[in-house]
Amino acid sequence: MKLKVVSYLDKGEFPLGEEEALALYRAMRRARFFDEKALTLQRQGRLGVYAPFMGQEAAQVGLALALKRTDWVVPSYRESALLLAHGLPIHTLLLYWRAHPAGWRFPEGVRAVNPYIPIATQIPQAVGLALAGRYRGEDWVVATSIGDGGTSEGDFHEGLNFAAVFNAPVVFLVQNNGYAISVPRAKQMRVDYIARRAEGYGIPGVVVDGNDAIAVYLEAKKAVARARKGEGPTLLEALTYRLAPHTTSDDPSRYRTREEEETWRRKDPLLRLRGALEERGLWDGEREKALLDELEEEFARELALADAAPEPRPEEIVEHVYKEMGPDQRRAWEVLRADA
C-alpha cells in the first residue's frame, strides 16, 4: 500500500497560527543566513570543511521548534540548523566548525550533543539518552536525525529496534535528500519510502514533504507529544533535497544534473513558506529587510566572539570527553600538557 505524504502548502492549506508560522519562517531564514555566511567563511579559510544544509531548513527547524528546550537533540554533521534552532549560540557553532575545543563545549542549558561524524552511531546513543531520562524520572524527549544513506547502516536498525522494544521517547528524523553523498537512493535500497521500515520495528512511520515547513512541524509535534506521553518512538521521513554540495570538498555536478537541481530550487522551503505568508498578508519585503538587517548584526557580533576565542592549549583536545578522565585520557592529557 502506498504511504501518504503529508503536505499542506501545495494544497493551499495553512493550518498554523500567525505566531507559530512567523517563528518558523524567522528560524528558517536565520538558519539559511548562517549557512550562507559559513560557506563564505570556509572559502576565506576561516572555517574548516563544512557541511551545508541549504534546502533542508524546513526539516531541521520544523523538528527543533516542536521540541521544548528541556528536550535533547542528537545530531549528525549536517544539522547546524537543528542546533541553532534549539538554542546553540552562533559563535559556539562557528568554533565547532573551526575544530576549536571551545566549539565542542556546548553551554549549560543547551541540551544538544556534538554532531556525529561516523554515520548512524548517533542512533543507539540517542536511544540510550532517552532511556536514561526515563530512569532518572525526567520527561525529556530525544530527537535525532540521519540521512537516507545512514539508514543502511546496522546502527540505524539496531537503534530503532531497541527503541521500539523499550518504548523509548525518541523521534527519529530521516532527512531523505535522495543521495548518500553521491549515490542515489534507488541504488541504496528497494523500498519506496524509508518510513515503511517502521512497520518492521512495530512503530509508527510517517512521510512528510520535507520542504513544507508546516507539514514537518505539525508531524514532529505529534511525534514529540506521543513520545512524551510514553507511547514510544516515531520514524519521521522528510522528503527533501540538498541544494548545496555534500561538503565544501564536494562537486555535485559529477553525479546530478542541473535540471534536477533547478526542479528542486523551485521547491525551496524558504520561498514556499514566505510565499504562503505573503499571500496572507503576514510578511512583505520590508519585514524581510528588517529581519536580514537584524541577522547581519547578530552574525557580526557572534563572529567577533568566535574570533576572540583564545588559541587553544594542546591538552584541550582530550578534555571534556568524559566528566572525569579515565587512565588513558589522563595519560594523553599529561603528555600533551608536557609538550606544550
Residue reference for cell 547581519? 296
In angstroms, the CA 157 to CA 199 distance is: 12
Count of C-beta atoms within a 10 Å radius of residue 289:
10
Catalytic residue among 43, 255, 313, 330: 255
Cβ proximity of 69 and 115 under 8 Å = no
Give the helix/strand (H/E) hosting 236. Answer: strand 234-239
Q: Is 320 left (phi over 0), alpha (psi -120 to 50) or beta?
A: left
Catalytic residue among 78, 86, 100, 246: 246
Residue reference for cell 587512565? 327
| Residue 241 annotated in active site | no
CA distances (Å), 122 to each of 114, 240, 243, 321, in order?
A: 10, 21, 24, 16
| Residue 246 annotated in active site | yes
Strand arrangement of the beta sheet that strand 170-176 belongs to: 5-6, 205-209, 234-239, 170-176, 142-147, 72-74
Catalytic residue among 100, 226, 242, 272: 242
3-state secondary structure of 54: coil
| Residue 255 annotated in active site | yes
Question: How are beta strands 72-74 and 234-239 bridged, if at all?
Answer: unpaired
Residue reference for cell 506521543? 226
Residue 89 dihedral angles phi and psi, to the nearest 5°: -65, 145
Beta bridge partners of 182: none
Count of C-beta atoms within a 10 Å radius of residue 281:
8
Torsion of CA 207, 210, 213, 218, to 10 degrees: 20
In angstroms, the CA 238 to CA 178 distance is: 11
Cβ proximity of 161 and 201 under 8 Å = yes
By annotation, the residues acting in catalysis are 242, 246, 255
